[in-house]
Copies of this chain bind each other. A is one copy, B any other.
Amino acid sequence: MRKLCLFIATSLDGYIAKPNNDLSFLKLVEKEGEDYGYAEFTSSIDTIILGRKTYDYVLKEIGTSHYDNGDRDVYVITRTERPQQGRTIFYTGNIAALINRLKSEQGKNIYCDGGAELIDALLQQDLIDEMIISIIPVLVGDGTRLFKDGRPEQTLEFIEAKTFETGLTQLHYKRKKE
C-alpha cells in the first residue's frame, strides 16, 4: 500500500521556521551537490499534499513549478474552493477521507510537504506512515514548531540515521506495527 511520508528539516530545538517564515537557517547546511536525499526521495513519490499557507509561500518564493512539474498530483488543503490548475487540486474536504482514498489507489508514495498545521492534522489522526527528519545543527530559539502540543502518543520504529559533513543528521522512522 502507498505510504504517506514526511520529509522535512527542523532545527535541533524543533522549529521548521523562525518567526515570519524565516528559513534562513537552512543556509547553514547548503552545500554544492548535496541534496540530502531529496531527489531520491521524490523519485519514490507521485503525489504531494501540502497546506494552503505553505503552497502560497512556495508560489511566491519559487513559483508553481516547484510542485506541479506535470508528472505528479498536488493536493493543496484549503478552506476556500478554487478551480483545479493543471494537476494541482485545491481540496476543501475531509483530510482523512482524502488520505485513505489516495492510499487505497495504485501509485507511488505520497509526500506531505507541510506546513505545521497540516502535519498536526495528519498526526492527530495517525495518518503518517514514515518520517524523514533532517536536524540542522542550530538552536533557532523561536518560531513554528514541527510538532505542536496536544497530539496522541505514537510509538515509532527507527529505521536509520544518516550524518552529513555539514552537521545535518537525518533520522528516518516508520509507524510501529501494532
Chain A residues near B (Cβ < 8 Å): 12-14, 18, 25, 28, 123, 131, 133, 135, 137-142, 145-147, 149-158, 160-161, 163, 167-169, 171, 173
Contacts and interface: CB of A to CB of B under 8 A. Distances in A.
Contacts of A156: 12, 137-139, 167
Contact of A158 (B146, B167, B173): B167
A35 to B, nearest CB: 19
A160 B35 CA distance: 20
19 contacts: A12-B156, A12-B171, A13-B151, A25-B153, A137-B158, A137-B173, A138-B155, A138-B156, A141-B150, A141-B151, A141-B152, A141-B154, A142-B149, A142-B150, A157-B167, A158-B163, A161-B161, A161-B163, A169-B171
A138 B153 contact: yes
Contacts of A149: 141-142
Nearest to A10: B14
Contacts of A168: 158
Nearest to A28: B155
